[in-house]
């Protein structure tokens, strides 16, 4: 198993550009989440999904869109990038099975810089 994969690893955008961060998992996990990591603030939840076709907002959703058309993929879209979105983005997945034991598995991250 590859686990959780993210592409690209690095990206530089100009203000106003759009892009999609890709996330895929091969563990057949129902749950997937996107977090951003900023210095001194830990990780904050952007959006999450409890299954294909179901998404919801987390703590910091503004400026981001998500969709979940398959169990495996959970892309994060920036429609109009802003410098405040410069961050490291992590995707995570976990299984609904084994209630109460939902360890989240994290991808390697995407480092995004918006100029």
* Contacts of another protein in 22-41 (CB under 8 A): 31, 33, 35, 40-41
27 within 8 A of 1, measured Cβ to Cβ: yes
Q: Which of 81, 94, 112, 114 binds another protein (CB under 8 A)?
A: 94
* N-to-C CA span, the chain: 36
Q: Which of 1, 14, 42, 62 binds another protein (CB under 8 A)?
A: 42
To the nearest whole angstrom, how small is the minimum distance from the Cβ of residue 89 to another protein? 11
Distance CA 62, CA 60 (A): 6
- Chain centroid to Cα 46, Å, comes to 7
Of 18-26, 63-71, 72-80, 90-98, which part binds another protein (CB under 8 A)?
Answer: 90-98
């Amino acid at each position: 198993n590859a686990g959780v994969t993210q592409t690209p690893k690095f990206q530089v955008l100009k203000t106003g550009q759009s892009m999609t961060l890709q996330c895929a998992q091969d563990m057949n996990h129902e749950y997937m989440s996107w977090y951003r990591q900023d210095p001194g603030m830990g990780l904050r939840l952007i959006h999450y999904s409890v299954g294909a076709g179901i998404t919801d907002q987390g703590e910091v959703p503004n400026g981001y869109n998500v969709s979940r058309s398959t169990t495996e993929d959970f892309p994060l879209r920036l429609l109009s990038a802003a410098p405040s979105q410069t961050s490291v983005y992590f995707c995570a997945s976990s299984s609904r099975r084994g209630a109460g034991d939902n360890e989240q598995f994290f991808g390697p991250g995407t480092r995004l810089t918006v100029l």
